[in-house]
A and B are shown apart, each in its own frame.
Chain A
């Protein structure tokens, strides 16, 4: 069976500090990978998605970036965090041939 991991689970960072969130998927190969942000009481905002190694599509211009160094690894980064970057970050995966998307447990980021 497939499993998706995210870490850390929670993170408190000062404004201006860097960020690195990691996501890995087990039990499948060549998944589509996604990063979403969910603000309190709001829906899911798609940040990035990737259909393969090194292939990243950005949905929202911002100070965040994503990378996919390995088939089942997806990393979300920032060089300098802003207060507005606070939120619940979710990684998800899907198979392009199947129209189901599965989410990780999420990382709660608070920028102070």
Chain B
């Protein structure tokens, strides 16, 4: 079983829609959860980082962790064409090793 599973999509939404991106993880010891945005032919960019359970909000982005179900989510409100990218979830329990999902490709249509 992979440490992190992520639906690859692709996901296509109209501009202004609310986007929900999701991952599941296997190891209950994971405590730290991250979301990255990767534009085509670029390195991943850290979007948000959360510790343990709960929500974290940053502008139009909200990261949510449900440790009871081992489920992590990223919500994007009022989606924009500039949000079109691949989104990667990641987790870690030691700060030395990180486990990534395969990424979800998102297209926001103007």
Contact = CB atoms under 8 A, between A and B. Distances in A.
Given A100-B46, A103-B43, A44 B95 contact: no
A49 B96 CA distance: 8
A98 B42 CA distance: 24
Given A106-B43, A108-B41, A101 B101 contact: no
B71 interface: no
A44 B100 contact: yes
Contacts, number: 59
A105 B43 contact: yes
B102 to A, nearest CB: 4
Nearest to A59: B97
Contact of A90 (B43, B96, B102): B43
A103 B45 contact: yes
Interface residues of A, number: 26
B100 A90 contact: no
B62 interface: no
B90 interface: yes
B41 to A, nearest CB: 7
Interface of A: 6, 32, 34, 41-44, 46, 49, 51, 88, 90, 94-106, 108
Interface of B: 6, 8, 31-32, 34, 36, 41-46, 49, 51, 88, 90, 92, 95-98, 100-103
16 contacts: A6-B43, A34-B98, A43-B100, A49-B97, A88-B41, A96-B95, A96-B96, A97-B95, A99-B95, A100-B34, A101-B46, A103-B43, A103-B45, A103-B46, A106-B41, A108-B41
